Homo-oligomer: A and B are copies of this chain.
Amino acid sequence: MSKNQNDEIVANLADVARRAARTLVKASYEERKKALLAIADALEENKNRIIEANLSDMEKGRSAGLNSQLLDRLMLNEARISGIASGARQVAVLPNPLGNILRERTLENGLHLQQITVPFGVVGMVYEARPNVTVDAAVILLMSGNAALLRGSSSAESSNEILVKVMREALAKTPISPEVIQLIPSNDRDTTRALLNARGKVDLVIPRGSAALIRMVVDESTVPTIETGAGVCHVYVDSKADLEKALPILINSKCHRPSVCNAAETLLVHQEVAPEFLPIAIKALHGAGVVLHCDQTSLNVAQKLEIPASLVQEENWSTEYGVLEMNIGVVSSLVAAVDHILKYGTNHTEAIVTESPENADAFIALSDCAAVMVNASTRFTDGEQMGFGAEIGISNQKLHARGPMGLEQMTTTTWIVRGNGQIRK
């Protein structure tokens, strides 16, 4: 397809979606809720059709030589489909994110002001192999009154097509138009570019996936975007740390699920507690299977313990490993720890272990991130853990939403000003 043809395809899908979104705006909270439950039921009722389509993606993926990690992300089975359906049911019972009054006042001239939450309108999602995102994103967007333009991976093409088909069949039995969910063809890379440049047609694009995907979206998009994901998170063990708390926090932050963005990549230890903490930390990390990249001080400790470790390189400090590898460094002060974090971190989640409220406050004020954990694992930066009920991603930027994004973050606002003929003098 030519550039222009893809622009036209995406513009048409966006126009159809925007018009259909009027049925979403008109639908009551109860009607949106019922639509989500209908989608959940339909997914389970059609599990065989879904698994069949997914098998064809899996076969294509195997012949294309996808690695086992990617194949695992692509795979749908009965349990996973039930999981996706139960996710939709959880979103259905969340509080209504629309029509909430955020600010309200009556001016001296009698004008009555209300700032209320409203949908964005048409929201694009650009994502990679996992087909569950197709449903997760669609239901969060529907519940927040938005039409969804979904651009998944070509490797999940058949799975995404059947999931969208099943969701649309379910919507056809509700007052909400099935056209509020649109799948953008993934057979041409250029359709992503077209989506990112559908300015005026698409209100927001959210990328979900690798750092490379997110950087591409941010660089190329003229549509407003919310950057998600990249997490080079740190655990800082302060001079005033309770080291008995520090060890389980460290191990949980690194090892509980190393592939996700809120896993820790670097341990920073204050020099005053380093002699006591480094040996137990290095032993425990090694025992948990973590490959160690150490600064000179911690390398000496590892060598004394006869634990394999390499000297950390400059690029290690800013690497999101996603696997069981970790950097270890000793810092001379809390401010030195913060300076390190600001230099190499991604403003995602930073943890401090300290018994000093003053040191905690200083760390909070300076570390400039979406979430600061004081004496807790970095793994808690998560929509479900934090009580959002569901998340469409974790915002890594400061504009609009920071940290986990749920239904509320998928709304914008309108000012409603009611008068009886007021004019400006």
Q: Is the CB of A25 within 8 A of B423?
A: no
- Assess whether A304 is interfacial by the CB under 8 Å rule: no
Bound form: Cα–Cα A399–B365 in Å: 25
Q: Is the CB of A416 within 8 A of B364?
A: yes
From B111, B416, B421, give the contact of A372 (CB < 8 A).
Answer: B416
Q: Is the CB of A25 within 8 A of B412?
A: no
A residues apposed to B, CB below 8 Å: 22, 25-26, 105, 107, 111, 113, 115, 118, 120-121, 199, 203-204, 218-219, 222, 224, 226, 242, 244-245, 248-249, 251-252, 256, 360, 364-366, 368-377, 379-381, 385-387, 397-400, 402-403, 412-424
Bound form: Cα–Cα A423–B423 in Å: 58
Q: Which residue of B lies closest to A246 (CB)?
A: B421
- Give A395 Cβ to nearest chain B Cβ, in Å: 10
Q: Which residues of B contact A374 (CB under 8 A)?
A: 416-419
From B203, B222, B413, B418, give the contact of A376 (CB < 8 A).
Answer: B418
Q: Is the CB of B399 within 8 A of A204?
A: yes
Given A249-B421, A375-B418, A218-B222 contact (CB < 8 Å): yes
Q: Which residue of B lies closest to A99 (CB)?
A: B365
Query: What are 21 A-B residue pairs whose CB atoms fall within 8 Å in the complex?
Result: A105-B387, A107-B385, A111-B376, A115-B403, A118-B368, A203-B398, A248-B421, A369-B414, A370-B415, A374-B419, A375-B419, A375-B420, A375-B422, A376-B419, A376-B421, A379-B424, A380-B417, A380-B419, A386-B415, A402-B412, A403-B413
Q: Which residues of B contact A26 (CB under 8 A)?
A: 365
Q: Is the CB of A245 within 8 A of B421?
A: yes
Q: Which residues of B contact A249 (CB under 8 A)?
A: 421, 423
Given A252-B423, A385-B424, A422-B377, A368-B121 contact (CB < 8 Å): yes
- Give A344 Cβ to nearest chain B Cβ, in Å: 12
Instruction: Choose among A118, A377, A387, A399 the residue with the greatest number of B CB atoms under 10 Å from its CB.
Output: A399
Bound form: Cα–Cα A182–B33 in Å: 51
Q: Which residue of B lies closest to A342 (CB)?
A: B18
- Give A277 Cβ to nearest chain B Cβ, in Å: 15
Q: Which residue of B lies closest to A382 (CB)?
A: B424
Bound form: Cα–Cα A420–B105 in Å: 41
